[in-house]
A and B are shown apart, each in its own frame.
Chain A
Amino acid sequence: MISFPRGNGLSLDKIVADVIVIGSGPGGAVTASICAEAGKFVVMLEEGEHLPLESAPHFSREEILQKYRNAGVNIGFGSTKLAYVEGCCVGGGSEINRGLYHRISAEVLENWRRDYRVDALTASDLEPHFAACEEVAKVQYLPGPAPQLSAKLASGASNLGWACLEVPRLYAYATDLVTGSPGRKQSMSETFVPRFMKAGGTLMAGTRATRISRGSGSWIVTALSKDGKNWRQLELSAKTVFVAAGAIQTPWLLRRSGIKTNVGNSLRFHPMLKAVAMFRDEINTPDELEPVHQIKEFDPRFSMGCSMSKRPALALAMAVHPEMTEAVDRDWRRMAIYYVQSTGGTGQVRSLPGFRDPLVRVSLHPPDLKELADGLARLAEVLFAAGAEAVYPSIPGYPVLRSPADIAKLPETISPKQANATALHLFSSCPMGEDEQKCAADSFGRVHGLDGLYIADASLLCGPTVVNPQGTVMAVARRNVMHAISAGAI
């Protein structure tokens, strides 16, 4: 039942639902659609707008303004600063990411089970949930040859005898393509969100949850909803609330609601460094698909891959080499961006009284920085093995590498001030498990000691996934909500 009592000139609207889901990213969208399909009256709140995939080209200025939180300007503070990125629109990060897809390895799950005492989280426990999510959000390999900048990485790896693979994407490629785009990205707004709405779910976009509190027999979510240029306050109540606002916003919301035990203390991420490689031949041609290769030789220490290398992105990645400005304009077709990504570093998320945005503190310790430095050297090595004529690390003050011998000139470690690291994969800020010393939620996402309050996003994952995380976020969300439904908790 939705009621909007507008009497007495009050602008406070009240909504009563069976289930409230806060956030419509991969965790929230999967959870909400399953609850709605189970016949519950579900309201899903999403702070960002509901925009079609085609509202902006991928990684464009428009996309950053429309779909990224804070236009992509987020900084984790500490002795090393870390730029991080989150989606803020219906579908969350799945709308702005490249959808590179993996299932998490059995070894990583085993570590989580052991270290956090998580029940029923083996690879075979998760298998049906991966499979079910992959039915809805299609995961496909490229229908034809890989783009050249991707194939270059694979050839470098093969020359060195390193393990490298083509990674499938959450993407439905068109077959027999004549015109138009190469297919349809399988983001949440294309897959689980329409499913949720078809099952009768209510999506409230442009609505930000600001507090969660305990009412009599139910949870109350206070929210602000955009009404043209004004904000309208809402009060929603439900027996069950899933918080799926992402690994930064979920702990922010819980902490400012007074729920603080093991919340926001153990943020983890995949810190990433980039380098631009210049090849003799043109490898960055406009009509190719997105790159898909990753080097897995050094997992779980670090992995490497290719980034979107359109000219605006290239100019950004080369900003630390201003002397190369003209080269970018002249030779951009011979240049491409590559990355190395490790698993080190920890962080904390706090809500600052009086401020809307969470404060994130990060620590990258000397071994973490050393690992990244090793990774960068290995990345340069494989790029030279692939035929690069020069490699430009995207780190201020770093030298241009012109031959494999120059790799020895790279510093042994990265100084905390210099590291120009970014993180796209964020998790573990509210880990799940039975170890109440460490975990915010139980093995199935219910906040310890609080009936009816669940966490359903990347915050729950106990540590770095090592691989791209979205598949794991979706599978764990599905596992947990199915458990709650079958236990009659919803």
Chain B
Amino acid sequence: MSVPVGHYQYDRIDRDFLQARIAEFEGQVKRRLDGTLSEDEFKPLRLMNGLYLQLHAYMLRVAIPYGILDSRQLRKLGEIAQHYDRDYGHFTTRQNIQFNWIRLEDTPDILRELAEVDMHAIQTSGNCIRNVTSDEYAGAAADELVDPRVHAEVLRQWSTLHPEFTFLPRKFKIAISGSPNDRVAARFHDIGILARPGDDGTPVFRIFVGGGLGRTPVIGEELFDSVREEHLLATLEAILRVYNAHGRRDNIYKARIKILVQAIGVEAYREAVEAELDQMELDRYRLTPEAVAAIRARFAIPLLEAPDDADAVLTQQRRDDPLFDRWVRSNTHVHRDPGHIIATISLKPAGGIPGDATSGQIGRLADLADAYSFGEIRITHLQNVVLGHVRKDRLRDLWLGLSEVGLAEANIGLIGDIVACPGLDYCALANARSIPIAQKLGARFADTALQAEIGALRINISGCINACGHHHAGHIGLLGVDKRGEEFFQLTVGGRAENGAALGTILGAALPEDETVDAIARLVDCYLGLRESGETFLETLTRLGHEPFREAAYEAV
């Protein structure tokens, strides 16, 4: 077996550990079924293993650590979708995959199948440190300063069944990036980490704390500017220790770390963390260069070789084929190697369900990854898929292959690249159906030439205030609200998760479901009419303020 590129390669010890975790879970299911565990006791235990009870069935959320899979793992996910679900899986905004139609009795078997390919559902839910997310272009992007995957893996391991932090006040999400261009929404996480090289070449980490969306959206604040690598774990332990001891436990809506940081202020939080660090035996927590090297050694590096004319071939092909050219414009990113390019595959076909992929598509993606990108696949936090290392002269062949299975949509970062939560079709907490409105918007802006003309514009949709669809962070955000049993959508504008993170602000009264798509279309028309050359939607909005957009959106209501 060849070593997979892109993620940490398990050894026997890691595999034995996974088997032990499955045996433990199987025992827990048995105790639930024989009644020795109450449902109240079982619930947190099953959540810690990714198993939710939804509106119609159990849902299993499988971890894709830092979003990277190999083709063998992806094929296994396709098989699970086929055998245990309704032939599709759903990629989430936290780089996981969810199966929505799972039977409790099947879960130990599914977990065993996942373990065959070194995968698991550990800590994809529950009030613990969740699956760590990272930059979807990690180790590939030209703009990267530090490859964040090694430290993401350090964090994955360190947080796995952490003895002290498995029963926190609430869930805890960590994201890490190594690029000056934030592609992980660092400031919308409980802890966001930005790595950069220090003076001696070893990375240093800028740490934000207390960000989050949900019903109280907060932009994370900087706790430390330059934490040294050796103190990374100590610092995280100190942050979590303060939270575990002092986070609220009386009200789940006030239990996230963001509420604690807001309540005492970031300075007081920093002092509390420093007080912990002063008392800690730092040696015990030291992340040594040897430990980092041992983990780095288990990542295989792709051998990036391309013919000298790779770039010229691509340039010519783009000139010859305008459709291909449009896809390259929206769906690729600059690779650190001049002969290679990063390709993003949209899981947002016009009128489709954002983030869903059938087992057939999943299998095909695995084949294409084998053929074009060292068998490596990445899941993005915007519910798309990335092939990280495609030779430029072979990009067109990849695009042709994608076209055959309906995966060549040219809309990454454009208005059709909609993020939506499961909403009322699956979720017991929902006020509104997020998926149908996403489908209608996708159909309305189906024309990719029009999408390219509109330019960078992100729409995010959540079916309720819990904000799983990150509506606060959308350039245009839609929030489902319930008015006397009718579905309405509240519009926000101006949110962004990228550099310069901002929360969207409310444009006006919520609109009935059947008027929402038209209102957004008018808002977009308004932007096209008012923009100065080269201006994005956000730039025009910043220049002119809400008023013209409010007028346009509400003119016919």
**A in complex with B:** no
> What residues make up the interface of B, taking CB atoms closer than 8 Å to A?
none
Interface residues of A (CB under 8 A from B): none
